[in-house]
């Protein structure tokens, strides 16, 4: 009798625990399902229609929007611009951030203030970054004055207004805004590597450069891979900065997928077509993320003995 | 006979070592000089645009065109005072604060509730729920913006602070849950058992014990939420139409297209929008950095 009561009350308690778990999850799940998951599914649905966002959703056209996007040189150009930014980020921005992280990973006076300065652009809104740099780079702006002052007036060029240089100029501004973020990540990773490992390498006769190349970098691998991943995803989603500085111009030379989507969807009211572009962007990110998870990040969770 | 040789050898050895030390010292000094130059140059490239914006606001347009370098001469206050006395700046500041406040409270509260059970309870589907939330980290609001507009319109939240704050909170949930989960997990079960023996239910444990013990982590996710809401541009660009509901990023871009020729005015307005974020950053740098590194480095 007593056992029965105890076991019943235990079942009751378990049930209550499960119920409580559900109740605790509910607000977050509901919010997330409504504003994140549902819109992504909706985008997939809208992408199959010819729709301006206002009238009834009844012009089903199958995959025609996708065919149109993949045949549009302007969209393909936007994809290649995103790829260009991705490549520059990986080959220039992350090595740059890594170099600075290595420099800051030792004690010296002023280190804290430098870290504070380097990371500051990360909290400055992309919109504000875009406005200030547009003014700095425009003709008769500070950059031109500065170059003239040091006798290099020929070096000035209206970079943002020239289709052949606009992507490099945007990449410079992107780096200005985001290198500090990667530097902070890498610095945190560096500080997780015990000093003794590097000292042991030095005692064994490794030069500082060899120590970095063969000891520090391999141990920093997991952090570098996270940094690379975030940089790729961020470069693919690029919108605010481009929209405010160039709107994708001049003559589409700095269009990105997100800018193209926004322009077609909200400026020209091609909601169905814009959704198809969003789905393509989503799929590119998703496939890259899965592949990266599968082929690169997995090693970190499997061999997570040196890192926790 | 042997003694002088030894002394000579000793002196030579000392000389050699001194030479080696000196060379190493020179190399070290050269290395640290290179480092100093590089670090100062990078710091300059970051500080100069900000200083240019702040000081540029104190010039007038002709001054800015003729001589943008150096201190303003004379100092022009009207750009700042005009902006500070215009009601639209204060309206935008209030809207930005309101939206950031709502979205932060929602994302921290909802995220903490979910993270607490994901971290501390066994139930079927727990790992699935966690995976679904972490996947959201991949998809910033950009991808979902078109259907999101339709949804917010159907909910009747267009041109309403909630139409910004709720999607922002929803897209902030992944990072919040990822950061809070290990923190909540590290709080010992014995504490919960003891609380339960004293008659404390799950909700009581959550609010009276778990949250107070996790204050540092909560501050971190809160700071992250405030920064990302404060800088959000695409959502208000799409969801807000009437000027009385503009947030600062919208106001600043609009101001900059409205006064294209008066750069000094733009710089003053931009600076005013920038100052709250930078002031907040200086106060909350540690939490921000701690949160981003915990969220991204330790996964």
Cα distance between residue A75 and residue A255, in whole Å: 8
Per-residue pLDDT band at A307 (split at 50, 70, 90):
very low
Q: What's the mean per-residue pLDDT of chain B?
A: 86
What angle is formed at CA A36 by the lines to CA A60 and CA B219, rounded to 5 degrees? 165
**Chain B from 225 to 254: CB within 8 A of any A CB:** 227, 230-231, 233-234, 238, 248-249, 252-253
Whether B68 is covered by a domain: the verdict is no
- Asked whether the beta carbons of residue A119 and residue B136 sit closer than 8 angstroms, the reply is no
- Asked whether the beta carbons of residue B231 and residue A132 sit closer than 8 angstroms, the reply is no
Whether B8 is covered by a domain: the verdict is yes
Residue A18: its chain B contacts at CB < 8 A? Answer: 123
Task: Tell me the DSSP string of B94-129.
Answer: HHHHHHHHHHHHHHHHHHHHHHHHHHH---TTHHHH
Cα distance between residue B221 and residue A160, in whole Å: 36
Domain identity same for B220 and B99: yes
pLDDT given for residue A27 in this prediction: 94
pLDDT given for residue B295 in this prediction: 57
Which letter does DSSP use for residue A235 in this model?
H
Buried b (16+ CB within 10 A) or exposed e, B271-287: bbbbeebeebbeebbeb
Q: Write out pLDDT tens, residues B82-115.
A: 889 888 899 999 999 999 999 999 999 999 999 9
Per-residue pLDDT band at B17 (split at 50, 70, 90):
low
Domain enclosing residue B7, as ranges: 2-56
Domain identity same for B162 and B222: yes
Which letter does DSSP use for residue B48 in this model?
H
**Chain A from 259 to 278: CB within 8 A of any B CB:** 261-262, 265-266, 271, 274-275, 278
Domain identity same for B49 and B97: no
Two tokens, residue A170: 């945007």
CA distances from A208 to A214, A232, A298 (A): 10, 30, 30
Which of A92, A135, A175, A221 to mutate against chain B (most B CBs within 10 Å)?
A: A135
- Asked whether the beta carbons of residue A120 and residue B46 sit closer than 8 angstroms, the reply is yes
Cα distance between residue B95 and residue B102, in whole Å: 11
Phi first, then psi: give them for residue A237, nearest 5 degrees: -95, 5
Q: Closest to B117 (Cβ–Cβ): which among A21, A123, A289? A: A21
Helix (H, G, I), strand (E, B) or coil at B164: helix
Whether B157 is covered by a domain: the verdict is yes
Task: Tell me the DSSP string of A126-146.
Answer: HHHHHHHHHHHHSTTSHHHHH
Paired with A49 in beta bridges are: A60
What angle is formed at CA B133 by the lines to CA B131 and CA B139, rounded to 5 degrees? 110
CB A86 within 8 A of CB A235: yes
What's the mean pLDDT in B123-145? 84
**Residue count (chain B):** 299
pLDDT given for residue B33 in this prediction: 86
Least confident of A82-91, B149-158, B279-288: B279-288
**Chain A from 230 to 249: CB within 8 A of any B CB:** 230, 233, 237, 239-240, 243-244
CA distances from A175 to A38, A93, A113, A252, B204 (A): 33, 6, 20, 21, 47
Cβ contacts of A214 within 8 Å, gap of 6 or more: A201, A206
Q: Is A31 at the interface with chain B, CB within 8 A?
A: yes
Cα distance between residue A69 and residue A254, in whole Å: 17
Domain identity same for B91 and B210: yes
What angle is formed at CA A265 by the lines to CA A261 and CA A267, rounded to 5 degrees? 105
Domain identity same for B98 and B206: yes
Q: Closest to A145 (Cβ–Cβ): which among B69, B139, B227? A: B69
Which of B23, B135, B144 to mutate against chain A (most A CBs within 10 Å)?
A: B144
A17 membership: H or E segment, kind and range: helix A2-32
Domain identity same for B173 and B83: yes
Whether B73 is covered by a domain: the verdict is no
Whether B62 is covered by a domain: the verdict is no
- Asked whether the beta carbons of residue A127 and residue B253 sit closer than 8 angstroms, the reply is yes
- Show the DSSP H helices in chain B as ranges: 2-56, 61-66, 78-85, 87-120, 126-135, 141-154, 161-185, 189-197, 202-205, 211-213, 215-231, 234-239, 248-258, 263-297
Whether B263 is covered by a domain: the verdict is yes
**What CATH number should be reported for the domain holding residue B260?**
1.10.3720.10
Domain identity same for B42 and B187: no
Two tokens, residue B72: 């303003």
pLDDT given for residue A1 in this prediction: 42
Domain identity same for B83 and B38: no
Q: Closest to A24 (Cβ–Cβ): which among B116, B234, B299? A: B116
CB A137 within 8 A of CB A158: yes
What's the mean pLDDT in A60-71? 92
Two tokens, residue A172: 């410079």
Residue B59, phi-psi category: left (phi > 0), alpha (psi -120 to 50), beta (remainder): beta
Which of A196-205, A234-243, A288-297, B195-204 has the highest mean predicted lDDT (pLDDT)?
A: A234-243
Which of B53, B93, B118, B147 to mutate against chain A (most A CBs within 10 Å)?
A: B147
Q: Write out pLDDT tens, residues B192-217.
A: 888 888 888 888 888 988 999 888 88
pLDDT given for residue B28 in this prediction: 73
Domain identity same for B103 and B40: no
Cα distance between residue A177 and residue A170, in whole Å: 11
Q: Write out pLDDT tens, residues A2-44.
A: 444 444 555 666 666 667 778 899 999 999 999 999 998 999 9
pLDDT given for residue B164 in this prediction: 95
Paired with A60 in beta bridges are: A49
- Asked whether the beta carbons of residue B146 and residue A121 sit closer than 8 angstroms, the reply is no
Per-residue pLDDT band at A306 (split at 50, 70, 90):
very low
What angle is formed at CA B55 by the lines to CA B53 and CA B61, rounded to 5 degrees? 85
With a pLDDT cut of 90, the percent of chain A lying above it is 51
Domain identity same for B87 and B159: yes
- The complex scores an ipTM of 0.84
**Chain A from 166 to 225: CB within 8 A of any B CB:** 176, 180-181, 184-185, 188-189, 192, 222-223
Which of B33, B297, B299 to mutate against chain A (most A CBs within 10 Å)?
A: B297
Cα distance between residue B269 and residue B53, in whole Å: 9
Least confident of A82-96, A125-139, A294-308, B258-272: A294-308
Per-residue pLDDT band at B70 (split at 50, 70, 90):
confident
Domain identity same for B22 and B85: no
Which of A25, A108, A189, A291 to mutate against chain B (most B CBs within 10 Å)?
A: A25
Q: Write out pLDDT tens, residues B140-175.
A: 788 889 999 999 999 999 999 999 999 999 999 998
From B3's Cα to the closest Cα of chain A, the distance in A is 34
Cα distance between residue B213 and residue B217, in whole Å: 9
Cα distance between residue B68 and residue B73, in whole Å: 10
Q: Closest to A126 (Cβ–Cβ): which among B231, B266, B278? A: B231
- Asked whether the beta carbons of residue B52 and residue A142 sit closer than 8 angstroms, the reply is yes
pLDDT given for residue B193 in this prediction: 87
pLDDT given for residue B189 in this prediction: 87
Buried b (16+ CB within 10 A) or exposed e, A60-82: ebeebbbeebeeeeebebbbebb
Whether B29 is covered by a domain: the verdict is yes
Residue A46: its chain B contacts at CB < 8 A? Answer: 146-147, 150
pLDDT given for residue A304 in this prediction: 39
Nearest CA in chain A to B205: A20
pLDDT given for residue A46 in this prediction: 92
Q: Closest to B148 (Cβ–Cβ): which among A21, A39, A124? A: A39
**Chain A from 56 to 95: CB within 8 A of any B CB:** none
Cα distance between residue A228 and residue A205, in whole Å: 31
Nearest CA in chain A to B152: A35
CB A293 within 8 A of CB A237: no
- Asked whether the beta carbons of residue A128 and residue B285 sit closer than 8 angstroms, the reply is no
Tell whether the model's pLDDT for residue A248 goes beyond 80: yes
Q: Is the pTM of this model over 0.90?
A: no
Per-residue pLDDT band at B5 (split at 50, 70, 90):
low
Total number of domains in chain B: 2
Q: Write out pLDDT tens, residues B39-69.
A: 999 999 999 999 999 998 898 877 877 777 7
Domain identity same for B21 and B136: no
Per-residue pLDDT band at A216 (split at 50, 70, 90):
confident
Whether B61 is covered by a domain: the verdict is no
pLDDT given for residue B12 in this prediction: 65
Query: Dihedral of CA B9/B10/B13/B14: which sign?
Result: negative
In degrees to the nearest 10, what's the CA dihedral of B247, B250, B254, B257?
A: 150
Which letter does DSSP use for residue A185 in this model?
H
Domains in chain A (CATH in brackets) are: 57-302 (1.10.3720.10)
CB B46 within 8 A of CB A120: yes
CA distances from A97 to A203, A236, B129 (A): 28, 19, 34
pLDDT given for residue A120 in this prediction: 92
């Amino acid at each position: 009798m007593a056992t029965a009561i105890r076991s019943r009350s235990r079942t009751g308690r378990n049930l209550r625990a499960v119920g409580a778990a559900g109740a605790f999850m509910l607000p977050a799940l509901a919010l997330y399902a409504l504003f994140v998951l549902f819109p992504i599914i909706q985008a997939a649905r809208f992408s199959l229609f010819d729709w301006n966002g206002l009238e009834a959703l009844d012009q089903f056209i199958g995959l025609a929007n996708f065919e149109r996007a993949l045949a549009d040189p302007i969209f393909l150009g936007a994809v290649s611009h995103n790829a260009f930014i991705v490549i520059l980020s990986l080959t220039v921005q992350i090595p740059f951030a890594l170099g600075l992280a290595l420099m800051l990973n030792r004690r010296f006076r002023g280190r804290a203030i430098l870290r504070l300065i380097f990371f500051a652009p990360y909290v400055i809104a992309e919109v504000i970054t875009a406005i200030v740099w547009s003014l700095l780079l425009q003709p008769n702006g500070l950059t031109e004055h500065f170059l003239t002052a040091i006798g290099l007036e020929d070096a000035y060029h209206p970079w943002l207004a020239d289709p052949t240089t606009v992507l490099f100029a945007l990449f410079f501004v992107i780096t200005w805004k985001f290198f500090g973020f990667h530097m902070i990540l890498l610095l945190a990773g560096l500080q997780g590597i015990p000093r003794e490992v590097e000292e042991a390498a030095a005692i064994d006769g490794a030069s500082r450069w060899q120590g970095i190349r063969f000891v520090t970098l391999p141990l920093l691998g997991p952090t570098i891979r996270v940094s690379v991943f975030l940089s790729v995803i961020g470069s693919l989603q690029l919108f605010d900065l481009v929209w405010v500085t160039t709107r994708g111009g001049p003559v589409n030379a700095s269009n990105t997928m997100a800018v193209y989507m926004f322009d077609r969807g909200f400026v020209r009211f091609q909601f169905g077509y814009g959704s198809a572009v969003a789905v393509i962007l989503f799929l590119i990110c998703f496939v890259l993320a899965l592949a990266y998870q599968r082929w690169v990040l997995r090693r970190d969770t499997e061999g997570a003995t040196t890192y926790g | 006979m042997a003694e002088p040789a030894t002394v000579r050898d000793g002196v030579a050895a000392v000389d050699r070592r001194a030479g080696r030390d000196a060379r190493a010292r020179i190399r070290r000094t050269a290395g640290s000089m290179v480092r100093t130059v590089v670090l100062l140059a990078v710091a300059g490239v970051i500080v100069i645009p900000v200083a240019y914006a702040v000081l540029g606001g104190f010039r007038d347009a002709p001054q800015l065109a003729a001589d943008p370098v150096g201190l303003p001469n004379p100092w022009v206050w009207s750009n700042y005072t005009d902006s500070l006395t215009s009601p639209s700046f204060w309206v935008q500041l209030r809207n930005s604060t309101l939206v950031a406040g709502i979205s932060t409270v929602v994302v921290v509260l909802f995220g903490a509730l979910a993270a607490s059970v994901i971290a501390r309870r066994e139930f079927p589907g727990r790992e699935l729920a966690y995976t679904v939330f972490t996947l959201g980290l991949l998809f910033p609001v950009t991808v979902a913006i078109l259907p999101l507009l339709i949804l917010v319109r159907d909910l009747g939240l267009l041109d309403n602070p909630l139409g910004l704050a709720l999607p922002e909170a929803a897209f902030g949930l992944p990072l919040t849950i990822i950061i809070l989960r290990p923190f909540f997990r590290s709080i010992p079960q014995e504490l919960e058992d003891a609380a339960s023996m004293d008659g404390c239910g799950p909700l009581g444990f959550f609010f009276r014990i778990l949250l107070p013990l996790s204050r540092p982590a909560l501050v971190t996710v809160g700071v992250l939420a405030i920064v990302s809401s404060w800088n959000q541009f695409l959502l208000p660009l799409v969801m807000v139409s009437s000027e009385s509901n503009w947030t600062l990023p919208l106001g600043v871009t609009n101001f900059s297209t409205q006064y294209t020729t008066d750069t000094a005015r733009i710089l003053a307005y931009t600076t005013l929008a920038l100052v709250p974020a930078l002031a907040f950053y200086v106060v909350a740098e540690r939490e921000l950095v701690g949160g981003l590194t915990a969220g991204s480095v330790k996964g």
